[in-house]
Structures are given as structure tokens and as C-alpha cells.
Structure 1
Amino acid sequence: MRAGKIPSDRRFTATHSWLALAPGQSFSDYPLRAGVTDSALDEIEVVGLELPAVRSTIEAGAPCALVWTSARTVVTVYAPISGLVTMTNTDALADPRLVADDPFHRGWLFAVLPSPTSSAYGLLTPAQYANELSEAV
């Protein structure tokens, strides 16, 4: 991931998933968009997606989506929080390249309404995530 490209309005997992947080909102009052960072997709051509079904429940840290690549490999996306999937990104399903080309905006994967017991505990701030990336090199 290029320096300065990590959005400040997201929280991250060590497995390269992200969760968009709106400032001043209660964590579990509304669906939050989630996706995968460009670090997980570095130099990969995305050709397909398998997203969780709307109205399905996902668990924090568990596999919830798959990103198919042109090399016939699969990148597993792990849920950043537990909750109910409320929508999927139909634009990304129609054009999976959006996930690699614009992972933090047009390439989001799904929205999740956090379960009442979900919290941001364990999610990384942008600075913590940048530190994780630099340590992994």
C-alpha cells in the first residue's frame, strides 16, 4: 500500500479488511460498509467476487467473502465485525476490478449492521494499520 493512501475514516484488521466509521455516530446504530484493502490485492487482477448473502450473519474474524483473481487464486476476506449483512455492492459484482482499482470507495464489498455485542475493540486505527504494514515488509 502506498504511503498516505490509508483513509482516516476506516478501521482495519490485521487480515486486511476495513470498516468505514462515520464520525459522531454510535457504533451499532446503522450499517457500516466493509471491504478489503489494496494490500491484500497488491498486483492482483480481480476477476470475480463471492459476497455474503444479504440477511446473513457474519462473525468477526471469520471468512465471509472471496475475491477471485486472474491467476485462479482466491483471496479470503475476513469479517471485521459481527453482524447482519444488509446489502452487497452490486457495482463491484458487475465489475470486480473496482475492488482492486478503488478498494476504499467504489470497490466496497458489503454493508453490515453490527450486532449489539460488536465493538471496535481489536480494530486497528489507520496509524496502527500502517505500522502493521511496515513491520510486515
Structure 2
Amino acid sequence: MSFDIPDDRQYLESHEWALETDGVVRVGITDFAQDELGDVVFVELPGEGDHLKQEDDLGVIESIKAVSDLYAPVSGEVTAVNEALFDAPELVNEDPFGEGWMLEIDADDTAELEALLTAEAYEDQIA
């Protein structure tokens, strides 16, 4: 099976993606992760203003099959949360790299992104 793995972002081994634009990092889960989870029924995310450290738990995603922790790709302050997911968690399944994004973090240091996987390395991991 082939999964969408955009090469404009970095990936965590735990299947989150990070897309940095002007120091702000948008976070979601990968196409592979949403496929493995099955139908997403609930997402728990931090609030705006919360400060996260790289690799900290940032929330929980629950599907009909499993409950999984979500991890922060970078340290920084949460500046936006995709509140649409609270009413429509299925957006994660339908569009994991678009409308299914989870939150945005004002990164303390975007150099932390260098520790993450490239699209090619992530593809190798899930192969």
C-alpha cells in the first residue's frame, strides 16, 4: 500500500508531521498513522498558550481500534489549535496533511526540526 508522504515537512518516528513556516510549526499525524488507527473518534489537544518541550506528550488521539499519545516535534508555545477536530475528528482520516492538522507551535528553536526524519527516511521506516 502506498501512503502520501509530502516532502515539504519533517516526521517523528511516532508518526506526527511538522511543517515549519516562519518559525511556526504546524503539527498533525501522517497518512500512515491515520490508516493504522482506523476511524478517529476523539482528539485531545493542549490549549493555546501552553508550552511544550520537544518529544513531550501533547495530547491523545482515539480511534475505534486504539488510543495513542501524540508527541511534540519541537519545543514552543501552542499558538493555534484546530478546534474543528473537536466536532469532526474524522477530518484526521479524510485530510491528515490539510484540514486534519492539529495545532501550531511558535518554535523556541527551529533547529530542533533537524533531529526529525525526512520524508524519505520516514518512508523507509514504515516500509
Question: What's the TM-score once normalised by structure 2's chain length?
Answer: 0.89
Aligned equivalents of 2:43, 2:2: Cα separation in 1: 24
Alignment length, in residue pairs? 126
CA contact (8 A) 1:83 1:118 kept: no
Matched, 1:55 2:54: no
Contact kept? 2:94, 2:100, Cα under 8 Å: yes
**Equivalent in the alignment of 2:74:** 81
Tell me, in whole angstroms, the C-alpha distance in 2 between the residues paired with 1:52 and 1:118: 23
Residue identity matched to 1:2: S
Residue 118 of structure 1: how far off its partner (Å): 5.0
- 2:62 and 2:68 in contact (8 A); partners too: yes
- In structure 2, the residue matched to 1:107 is 100
Taking the TM superposition and a 5 Å limit, the aligned residue runs for 1:1-137 are: 2-3=2-3, 5-22=4-21, 29-43=22-36, 44-71=38-65, 73-116=66-109, 119-134=112-127
Q: Is the 8 A contact 2:23 2:110 kept in 1?
A: no
More helix by share: 2
Q: After superposition, what is the alpha-carbon deviation per residue over 1:94-130, rounded to whole angstroms, capped at 9, x for unaligned?
A: 2000012111111000000111475222111111110
Structure 1 counterpart of 2:56, one-letter code? A
Structure with max Cα Rg? 1
Once the two structures are TM-superposed, the CA of residue 8 in structure 1 deviates from its matched residue by: 1.4
Equivalent residue letter for 1:32: V
CA distance in 2, matches of 1:90, 1:65: 14
> What's the TM-score once normalised by structure 1's chain length?
0.83
**Percent of pairs with identical residues:** 33
**CA RMSD for the aligned pairs?**
1.7
What is the CA–CA distance in structure 2 between the aligned matches of 1:120 and 1:2, rounded to whole Å? 25
